[in-house]
């Protein structure tokens, strides 16, 4: 059971790293100095989305309700900017770059996750090589 949780964590981390890397290729205002900063940023973005983002959502609930949820996009951008401020080698040129990149990263990660995971949230069994889980 614990190994399955670890593999799911590693897959989500890889998806986030891939999404950040593709975003840095698409958006001129996002850059990573090396692979290490990319992987650390992906790890911290996952933790920030799990810990910081829910707190920000609760604190800004009235504003989120008034804007019919659109303020969540601002929260996503702020979380990415926070991670960029913490991780050396991860640079974002400004709020609007983070705003549009956060939308891209969320959509990209969603579709990659759909491809990798089935509805139960577990990795898809690959038929090759005796059904090894990826």
Residue 12 has pLDDT above 80, yes or no: yes
Q: Where in the chain are the domains?
A: 17-118
Count of Cβ atoms closer than 10 Å to residue 110 Cβ: 12
- State the Cα torsion 121-113-3-38 to the nearest 10°: -150
Q: Please tell me what DSSP assigns to residue 33.
A: S
Judge whether residue 83 has pLDDT over 50: yes
Q: What is the pLDDT of residues 108-133, one digit of tens each?
A: 999 998 888 765 555 554 444 444 44
CA 95 to chain CA centroid, nearest Å: 17
**Whole-model pTM?**
0.82
Q: Which two tokens stand for residue 111?
A: 């579709």
Q: What is the pLDDT of residue 126?
A: 46
CA distance 90 to 35: 10
Across the chain, mean pLDDT equals: 87
Express as a percent the part of the chain with pLDDT over 90.
Answer: 73
């Amino acid at each position: 059971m614990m190994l399955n949780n670890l593999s799911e964590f590693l897959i989500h981390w890889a998806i986030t790293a891939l999404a950040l890397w593709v975003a840095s290729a698409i958006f001129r205002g996002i850059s990573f100095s090396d692979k290490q900063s990319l992987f650390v940023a992906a790890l911290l973005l996952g933790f920030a989305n799990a810990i910081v983002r829910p707190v920000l959502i609760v604190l800004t609930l009235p504003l989120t309700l008034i804007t019919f949820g659109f303020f969540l996009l601002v929260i996503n951008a702020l979380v990415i900017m926070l991670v960029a401020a913490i991780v050396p080698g991860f640079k974002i040129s400004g709020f609007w770059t983070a705003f549009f990149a956060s939308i891209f990263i969320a959509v990209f990660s969603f579709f990659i996750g759909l491809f990798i995971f089935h509805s139960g949230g577990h990795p898809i069994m690959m038929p090759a090589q005796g059904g090894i889980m990826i």
